[in-house]
Amino acid sequence: MGNTVGTPTNPQKFLDQDYEELRRDSVESKSRFVDETFPPDKSSIGQNLLDNDKMARVKWIRPTNMVKDPYLVVKGESRFDFAQGDLGDCWFLAAIGAITFQKDIMDEIIPENQSFSKDYAGIFHFRFWRFGKWVDVVIDDKLPTINGKLIFVHCKTRNEFWPALLEKAYAKVCGSYADLRDGLVSEALRDFTGRVFFTLTLEPDRPKYWSLMKRAAQHRSLMGCGSRHGATSANTELPNGIVERHAYTITDVHKVLSNGESVKLVRLLNPWGRKEWKGQWSARSPLWKTVSAEDRTKLLDSKEDGEFWMSMEDFCRNFAHVDICCRSPVFLDDSSENSWTRVMYEERWEKETASISRDGQTFWMNPQYWMKVPHLDENQTESQSHRNVLVSLMQEPKSRHRRLVQNHPIGFSVFMVPPELRDQKTFPASFFTSSSPVKESPLKSGTREVVEFFRLRPGWYLIVPFTSIPNLTASFFLTVHTNAAESSFTPESCRLL
């Protein structure tokens, strides 16, 4: 497995650039690396991001020419290191805020032995998970500035540059800095980790999911969220301090006793590094005087750094969804890590096989996957609330430029297979016209990935990914997580027919 290309230890070379080879050439020639595949010019900034006046004033400068003592990382990576610049990539920065809590993830993304000192050659590299494979992305360290100051993400510590270089590497993967405008926290969390994610939809008048979020935090999950859309444009600050249509990091979930009553709290971080909640349980709220001195000392921080507490009730009123990213769905049911098994497939829809209608003649030509759901072991329950399958369907873009990607409406259907058909090699059109799916994802457009978590009784099933666009040729990535006794489920239990 360690030699397989596309793993964290052996990532694919993005655009066929070999970091070690390029760095060695630059060191031997005593030159500073300049990346021709992502040149320091307006093409890398992208279209319609800066006005003509700003674009004309942009100068690409290396950190060694900005400060006397540049460092990639100063005293470890922290969620308080950076602040957002003139780029609407709060979704990306909210995800960075989440991963700074876990050094193992940061070490995968930022490979070791990189610095501005020994054998410095103006070249760095970062790693991301992209559609089933890890990729190694090489960049030069020329950064866009105006009047000597970084115009996009920047560190609060003047000589620390990991956020700016990481943002540049991700901009290269996505096509340009302009391609980072607007997105979902879940998208960046997936690209940082390759882990499963699950989205919770919040209801303003029904505060729930706090216990699930608490479990997610206990299982070292990464969490982000998005504020609700209002009548105003994006990034409008409300009187209560919340910014509309904006991404935040969830940095903690905690319960306190206030005047003897239990209160559920959520802590959030604004990637701007400022603009905090002003309501109850904010830094200046008198409610903090009602909790124990121990909790007040432990939890309350009056710094204006963009991080704040709010009650679960206020959280649900102001935020629309929560994205949770974890190694396995274990946090969803508090089960054992060993009980969840994952299998992944990379496949394609071919021309004239894409059809949403099971009455049509092409639906059966979509890829078909067997899935066996075994009997639960004696320590597991068969209650209807026990959800034991999580399916993720991700479509792979044809364009490198993220802003040009057209995410097609995609979904999947799950059919139960009766015993008499379990020797079937391929299921014909007649099976789908006479059978109804036992589970079906909503057909979603405008999103690259559909994720559903549900319960299936023991038996054999067929999963059929589909798109509603006729004559479409496109690649997709299917992941199936199943919760069962470890000895009774293997990757072969879910296979392509």
Active-site residue list: 90, 246, 270
Rounded Cα–Cα distance for residues 228 and 130 (Å): 28
β-strands 247-258, 222-227 pairing:
antiparallel
Chain centroid to CA 424: how far? 38
Rounded Cα–Cα distance for residues 23 and 37 (Å): 15
| Contact predicate 216/335, CB 8 Å | no
Rounded Cα–Cα distance for residues 311 and 53 (Å): 44
Rounded Cα–Cα distance for residues 107 and 431 (Å): 49
Residues in the chain: 497
Rounded Cα–Cα distance for residues 58 and 436 (Å): 59
